[in-house]
């Protein structure tokens, strides 16, 4: 059974006069919400969203988590519509839940807005979510660099949030939790002040999740604290031995090809053994003159040792490089009729076989026909984030095609031709 341990911290910062952030750190559900809106309506929106999410998430599935987010969106919307002082309020919401993946536990992640989720795995930090913000859209369009976006004056303008419309699109995906993984949920009050490199350093060095969350909040304050700051750190402390099983598979040596072992037993081990084997099948040799004194054996020099070590290092680096290449690439493919993100190479590389990383809610039948051959063959992407963007593109294309089909299907019929006017006598 997967076991999680979490800790959270929040702070008003050094500029704002009240805190519109809220967070949740439950046994199986974790969330961060960053409210927006005047007259303290932002804190009402974030509090309402977190409470509704916790109350509505009653079934441990990814679909249920998405539905709970949509319920929270509708609740915030209805509340804003019923109170003129809260009209236009909204909130971001990023959440993680431990869900039932069938044969194993999974972590479901949902996101609306620019609050982020990160994964620290084997010391490497990776941003899981995609910001729904104006500057992030400009980065995706090639109009801004990531460095420019970090200091852009409009970096706080979000393009998607709960409560702004009665319906909302929710990004969602799954990943497999491994013992030692550490996840971070945070509002932009952290990421606008603290770099990813500094975040990674803190997550690597502070072992207790609550202390790590508080340390990140302190760092954001030290860098200026221009906004509310909220962090939730979630550690995977037990994974039902999935990590050990995966490591055993990766470290196992490949079996020798058929016939190789038998051939090896027929090879002589040294020149003397080879000579003895040959003489045993021949007639006794003639008497030979006395043998000359044996030659002095060659000394084992430092040059020989250096050469052997160099060969060992080269072989070791080659194995490491192949393993890294095989385990640090991703592709989008199909898993039992569902679009999924796999870690590894399509079809595997040597003895490194791909593993399921995230199962999405997009079905094979929903993939646009033009994209389906690439998905069936395995659409390779360099990072998990790029694979997620490709899945989101598939989802958007599918939604656009569905919208076009629906619009065509409900088009009104053409008016019937008018009856001919009666002729006059």
Q: How far is Cα 84 from Cα 88, in angstroms, rounded to an integer?
A: 9
Give me the pLDDT at residue 266, please: 32
Which of 159, 149, 162 has its CA nearest to residue 191?
A: 149
- Residue ranges covered by each domain of the chain: 2-244, 327-404
CA atoms within 13 A on the CB side of 299: 3
DSSP calls for 338-389:
EEEEEES-TT-BTTB--EEEEEEEEEGGGS-TTTHHHHHH-EEESSHHHHHH
Give me the pLDDT at residue 275, please: 40
**pTM, whole model, 2 decimals?**
0.61
**Three-state SS string across 223-256, please?**
CCCCCCEEEEEEEEEEECCHHHHHHHHHHCCCCC
Write out the chain's pLDDT in tens, 425 residues. 899 999 999 999 999 999 999 999 999 999 999 998 765 799 999 999 999 999 999 999 999 999 999 999 999 999 999 988 888 899 999 999 999 988 889 999 999 999 999 999 999 999 999 999 887 777 776 777 777 766 676 666 789 999 999 999 999 999 999 999 999 999 999 999 999 999 999 999 999 999 999 999 999 999 999 999 999 999 999 987 776 666 555 555 455 454 333 333 333 334 443 343 333 333 333 334 444 444 444 555 666 777 788 888 888 777 666 666 666 789 999 988 889 998 888 887 766 788 888 888 888 988 988 889 999 999 998 888 888 888 888 887 787 776 665 544 444 555 555 555 554 44
Residues in Cβ contact with 401 at an 8 Å cutoff, skipping those fewer than 6 apart: 368
Residues in Cβ contact with 260 at an 8 Å cutoff, skipping those fewer than 6 apart: none
Q: At residue 267, what are phi and psi to the nearest 5 degrees?
A: -85, 135
Task: Select 2-244's CATH number: 1.10.760.10, 3.60.40.10, 3.30.70.2190, 3.90.1300.10.
Answer: 3.60.40.10
Which of 184, 179, 178, 180 has its CA nearest to residue 198?
A: 184
The string over 161-191, giving b where at least 16 C-beta atoms fall within 10 Å of a residue's C-beta and e elsewhere, is bbbbeeebebbbbbbbbbbebbbbbbbbbbb
- Strand 182-186 versus strand 90-91 pairing type: unpaired
DSSP calls for 286-342:
PP-PPPPPPPPPPP--HHHHHHHHHHHHHHHHHHHHHHHHHHS-EEEEEETTEEEEE
Task: Tell me which residue has tokens 């341990």.
Answer: 5
How many Å is the maximal CA-CA distance in the chain?
Answer: 146
The tokens for 163 are 């409560």
CA-based torsion, 367, 370, 375, 377: positive or negative: positive
Residues in Cβ contact with 391 at an 8 Å cutoff, skipping those fewer than 6 apart: 173, 332, 339, 341, 360, 362
The tokens for 268 are 């002589």
DSSP calls for 86-136:
GTT-EE-EEEEEEEE-SSSEEEEEEEESS-EEEEEETTEEEE-S---BHHH
């Amino acid at each position: 059974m997967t076991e999680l341990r979490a800790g959270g911290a929040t702070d008003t910062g050094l500029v704002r006069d009240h805190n519109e952030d809220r967070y949740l750190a439950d046994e199986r559900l974790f969330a961060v919400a960053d409210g927006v809106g005047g007259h303290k309506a932002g804190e009402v929106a974030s509090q309402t969203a977190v409470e509704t999410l916790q109350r509505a998430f009653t079934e441990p599935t990814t679909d249920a988590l998405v539905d709970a987010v949509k319920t929270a969106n509708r609740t915030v919307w209805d509340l804003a519509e019923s109170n003129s002082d809260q009209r236009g309020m909204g909130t971001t919401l990023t959440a993680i839940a431990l869900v039932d993946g069938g044969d194993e536990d999974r972590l479901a992640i949902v996101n609306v807005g620019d609050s982020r989720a990160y994964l620290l795995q084997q010391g490497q930090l990776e941003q899981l979510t995609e910001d729904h913000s104006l500057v992030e859209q400009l980065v995706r369009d090639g109009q801004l660099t990531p460095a420019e976006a970090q200091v852009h004056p409009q970096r706080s303008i979000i393009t998607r949030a709960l409560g702004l419309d009665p319906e909302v699109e929710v990004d969602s995906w799954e990943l497999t939790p491994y013992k030692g993984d550490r996840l971070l949920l945070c509002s932009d009050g952290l990421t606008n002040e603290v770099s990813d490199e500094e975040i990674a350093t803190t997550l690597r060095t502070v072992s207790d999740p609550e202390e790590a969350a508080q340390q990140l909040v302190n760092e954001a304050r030290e860098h200026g604290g221009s906004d509310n700051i909220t962090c939730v750190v979630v550690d995977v402390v037990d994974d039902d031995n999935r990590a050990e099983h995966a490591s055993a598979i990766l470290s196992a040596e490949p079996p020798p090809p058929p016939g190789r072992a038998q051939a090896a037993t027929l090879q002589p081990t040294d020149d003397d053994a080879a000579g003895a084997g040959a003489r045993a099948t021949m007639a006794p040799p003639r008497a030979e003159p006395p043998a000359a004194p044996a030659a002095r054996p060659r000394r084992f020099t430092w040059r020989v040792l250096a050469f052997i070590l160099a060969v060992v290092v080269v072989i070791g680096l080659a194995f490491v490089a192949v393993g890294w290449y095989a385990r640090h690439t991703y592709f989008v493919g199909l898993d039992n009729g569902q679009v999924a993100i796999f870690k590894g190479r399509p079809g595997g590389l040597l003895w490194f076989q791909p593993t399921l990383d995230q199962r999405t809610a997009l079905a094979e039948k929903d993939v646009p026909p033009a994209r389906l051959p690439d998905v069936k063959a395995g659409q390779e992407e360099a990072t998990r984030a790029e694979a997620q963007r490709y899945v989101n593109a598939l989802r958007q294309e599918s939604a656009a095609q569905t919208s076009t089909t629906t619009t065509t299907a409900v088009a009104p019929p053409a008016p019937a031709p008018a009856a001919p006017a009666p002729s006059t006598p």
